[in-house]
Structure 1
Amino acid sequence: MRFTTRRRALVLQKQVNDSLRFNPFVFSRLFFLWVLIGVAGGILAGGYWIVLEHLLEWLEGVQGLLVVPLMMGAGLLAGLIIHKLGDPGEMDLIVNNIRFKGGQLDPHNNPSMILSSLLCIASGGSAGPEAPLVQVVGSTGTWLAQKFRLRGEDLRSLTIAGMAAAFTALFGAPLGGSLFALEILHHRHVVEYYQALIPAFVASCSSYVIFVLITHTGLGPTWVFPLYTPSSINDFFFAILYALAGTAAGWLFIFTVRQCRRGFRKVRLPIYWQLAVGGLLIGIVAYLVPLSRYFGHDQLNELLHDSFSVQFLLVLLVAKVLAIAFTVTSGWRGGFIIPLFFVGAVVGLLINSLFPDQNLPLIMISCMAAINACVTRTPISTTILLATLTGFHSIVPIMFASLTGFFLAPKTPLINAQLGVEEHEE
């Protein structure tokens, strides 16, 4: 019996050694799965983006008072889709599934997520496509893992790789998208997901190439910022100072979202009526302040190219915070990362209007970094994403601003699933 067991062990060892001789490289078959989910993510994100652009071109012609019934109707229709096809959940559910359910995301509700989010975003909701695509591509990673009978960390890593592929396709930053997919899961648990870093990076690179080929988007920055010229080491301290304003805006946003969330919970309407009410509120805000409509991808360039009074910037700041809060809490589908960058840019312009002759690009980038790090608790990936999106060549001031927003964030995060087990117990 012992001889048989030993013989089997020797045979197994020989097979392993033979396979290593046959493949002298670091990569294994899992590498091709990471590439595959990246390609799938690029195709899904590219197709989604093209459809979204066409819908935006069609619906952005609706202006003035007609915006209110349009958005109310879009909310009602999106709610009916969710009611009939199933509720795909929000970012809290995604984070919880990655952390506590072995990294499995359910792909069955993807049709509901795709259709409802397209309606919500295209009609003018203040939420972007990153969150819906994270769910769709991440769950596709789970599906692939199950088809190839992966278990444990391999399954979780492929799911996270799908999430990273979605982030990267939309942000155009493979490294930033990879880190964001890990960091959003909770800063205290990043080490747990370190094994997923390389899969996420490989999938992100693949996704980025495919997305660019499909959409023909440029490889340069998304937002054309004024040229930043570092003056002295004092810029780092100014970045911290400006970040305080961005962090304050983050606190304001979190407070507003929590109040709106309590309000919708008290009402307890069916999902379709809740989204219709949300559409009514967002539509009223968009009618009163048209620049607050949509998720800010194109509107941020308008901020950079036009001049605005202090009074208008204050109104726009309040309107955008309310629009995002109504969008997020009423059940409208979409993510708030790009909208938060928009809010940060408004805060930066407001500071520059109140205290002119300052370093405008430094002010804006600091406020944008601080508010996103404060709300999402992702200081590392926020730094890399912003540097890529804005073409900001000096990354150190962004680091200082991101860390400021992160360490001055509320103890209880906006994304409840980011709470650690010990914090839940408290």
Structure 2
Amino acid sequence: MSLFVALLGGVIGGITWMLLDIMNLGIDLIWAYIPVHIDFIFYPLVICAFGGLVIGLYTKRFGPYPHEMSEIMVEVKAGNKVPYDNLPVVAVAALLPLVFGGSIGPEAGLTGVIVGLCFWFSDRFKFIFAEVEELAQIGMAATIGVIFGSPLFAFVNQIEDEKKPTVIPKNTKILMYFVGIMGGFGALNLLSGIFGGGMGLGRFPAIENVAGGEWLAAIPLALIGVAFGMLYYVFQRLIKVAVSPLKRYTVLKAIIGGIILGGAGMLLPYTMFAGEHQMTMVMDSWESMGFAVLLLTGILKLFIGNICAQMGWRGGNIFPTIFSGVVIGYACALMLPIDPIFCVAVVTAALTATVMRKPMAVILLLLICFPINGIIPMTIGAVIGGAIPLPKWRKLETE
């Protein structure tokens, strides 16, 4: 069983690398190669509107894919089977919004593909292993670990709210999680090392100065992060209500979403795309960007992410949320005489934990980009962000 799970993890890593590579090729073609040969000021607006047309027509033909990662996790943990007869359809649906500049992450689409693949495996090997019914959960953990480059985050994210009894004994299943995650992680790193590609968040330098000023600012900074996390939910609610009259107009809705995305991208380019590559650029230029641009970029990123989700540009929200926390944290750093990395760590952890509701998983995820001496400020932010309750109307929606 361990060997089987390790091989499955390797297959997951290879497929994830392939899909991410296709995504990067598409982005380079549309957003790097073609603009060099076409000098047109409204290029983002036109391309995003065209992307909305393509996404709308594709959705109308095949249905609303991909499903959100949280929806897939609920289905898998409830013991429901995810269909696998339409995996190419899900893969294309996942790539289209990303290639056309959507402010979303790839985790939703890739998770849908991999979980479907795991159910395909389970149906064909159940005569050998009784435990393969739980391959989907192991495969989901491996996919998340591969996408975010964080095996520990994938592990904790998968088991943090796992309460249902499992066929595999608990200790054995923990081992299977690690075997599958490391198999996928190893395959992706091997392929990325040979051929390039993959994803990954930028790496912040070490926090150089932690004194009384930093600790005094920690809780207020965490509350700032929480406030912007709550703003995410406000945007989500308002946009959902505003878009409800367009529910039947799948193509029109996607085109309008593309126009809003492209218009925002013309004003503030970092509001487009998932945000992992843009985060590295912000690290190098945040001081010259200024407070207003940083703050506006962070707020608009939260808004555009919800626009994409509600307008049919479906995908994940983890990468864009982290990016928003980073730019808002840098905006705060411009106004406070404290270490900027400390500032960014607290705000990012608080905002991300407010949205994800999993403090421990957030800390482990952010450790891939923040230095080890940032673990205490991140813990302060994540614990406060995860502890403050959601708005009452949001709780009613999730129940």
The alignment's TM-score, normalised by the length of structure 2, stands at 0.87
Which residue number in structure 1 is paired with residue 135 of structure 2? 158
Which residue number in structure 1 is paired with residue 232 of structure 2? 253
Match of residue 335, structure 2, among 331, 341, 354: 354
2:253 maps to 1:274: yes
5 Å-filtered alignment, 1:99-178, equals: 99-100=77-78, 102-149=79-126, 154-155=131-132, 157-178=134-155
Gaps of 5+ in 2: none
Which residue number in structure 2 is paired with residue 331 of structure 1? 312
1:213-270 Cα deviation digits (max 9, x unpaired): 1122699973131321463588566433321111111000111012111222222233
Secondary structure at the counterpart of residue 106 of structure 1: coil
Match of residue 94, structure 1, among 72, 79, 83: 72
Which moved further from structure 2: 52-61 or 389-398?
Answer: 389-398
1:134-188 Cα deviation digits (max 9, x unpaired): 11112212221221227999355311111111111121111112222334xxx4x
- The code of the aligned residue for 1:326 comes to I
8 Å contact from structure 1 (residues 295, 339) kept in 2: yes
Are the structure 2 counterparts of residues 404 and 296 from structure 1 closer, same or farther at C-alpha, using a change threshold of 3 Å?
A: same
Which residue number in structure 1 is paired with residue 187 of structure 2? 210
Secondary structure at the counterpart of residue 226 of structure 1: coil
2:25 maps to 1:45: no
2: CA distance, partners of 1:165 / 1:383: 18
1:250-305 Cα deviation digits (max 9, x unpaired): 00011101211122222223333322221111111111211211110111111110
1:339-366 Cα deviation digits (max 9, x unpaired): 00110011111111122x2111111111
5 Å-filtered alignment, 1:162-241, equals: 162-183=139-160, 187=161, 189=162, 195=170, 196-216=173-193, 222-229=201-208, 231=210, 238-241=217-220
Are the structure 2 counterparts of residues 190 and 397 from structure 1 closer, same or farther at C-alpha, using a change threshold of 3 Å?
A: farther
Are the structure 2 counterparts of residues 49 and 310 from structure 1 closer, same or farther at C-alpha, using a change threshold of 3 Å?
A: same
Are the structure 2 counterparts of residues 415 and 93 from structure 1 closer, same or farther at C-alpha, using a change threshold of 3 Å?
A: farther
Which residue number in structure 2 is paired with residue 397 of structure 1? 377
By how many angstroms is 1:372 displaced?
1.2
Which moved further from structure 2: 313-322 or 359-368?
Answer: 313-322
Gaps of 5+ in 1: 1-29
- The code of the aligned residue for 1:315 comes to L
Which residue number in structure 1 is paired with residue 277 of structure 2? 298
Which residue number in structure 2 is paired with residue 74 of structure 1? 51
8 Å contact from structure 2 (residues 68, 316) kept in 1: no
- The code of the aligned residue for 1:98 comes to V
8 Å contact from structure 1 (residues 97, 105) kept in 2: yes
8 Å contact from structure 1 (residues 37, 161) kept in 2: no
By how many angstroms is 1:97 displaced?
0.8
5 Å-filtered alignment, 1:56-75, equals: 56-61=27-32, 62=35, 64-75=41-52
Secondary structure at the counterpart of residue 369 of structure 2: helix
Which residue number in structure 2 is paired with residue 385 of structure 1? 365
- The code of the aligned residue for 2:249 comes to P
2: CA distance, partners of 1:66 / 1:326: 20
Are the structure 2 counterparts of residues 272 and 360 from structure 1 closer, same or farther at C-alpha, using a change threshold of 3 Å?
A: same
- The code of the aligned residue for 1:271 comes to T
8 Å contact from structure 2 (residues 214, 338) kept in 1: no
Are the structure 2 counterparts of residues 415 and 337 from structure 1 closer, same or farther at C-alpha, using a change threshold of 3 Å?
A: farther
2:296 maps to 1:319: no
By how many angstroms is 1:51 displaced?
0.8
Q: CA RMSD in A?
A: 2.8
8 Å contact from structure 2 (residues 94, 110) kept in 1: no
* Identity over aligned pairs, percent: 22
- The code of the aligned residue for 1:44 comes to I
1: CA distance, partners of 2:209 / 2:9: 37
- The code of the aligned residue for 1:321 comes to L
Count residues in correspondence.
384
Secondary structure at the counterpart of residue 160 of structure 1: helix
Secondary structure at the counterpart of residue 87 of structure 1: coil
The alignment's TM-score, normalised by the length of structure 1, stands at 0.82
8 Å contact from structure 2 (residues 141, 154) kept in 1: yes
- The code of the aligned residue for 1:365 comes to A
- The code of the aligned residue for 1:201 comes to F
Are the structure 2 counterparts of residues 234 and 108 from structure 1 closer, same or farther at C-alpha, using a change threshold of 3 Å?
A: farther
By how many angstroms is 1:329 displaced?
1.3
2: CA distance, partners of 1:413 / 1:294: 29
8 Å contact from structure 2 (residues 298, 325) kept in 1: no
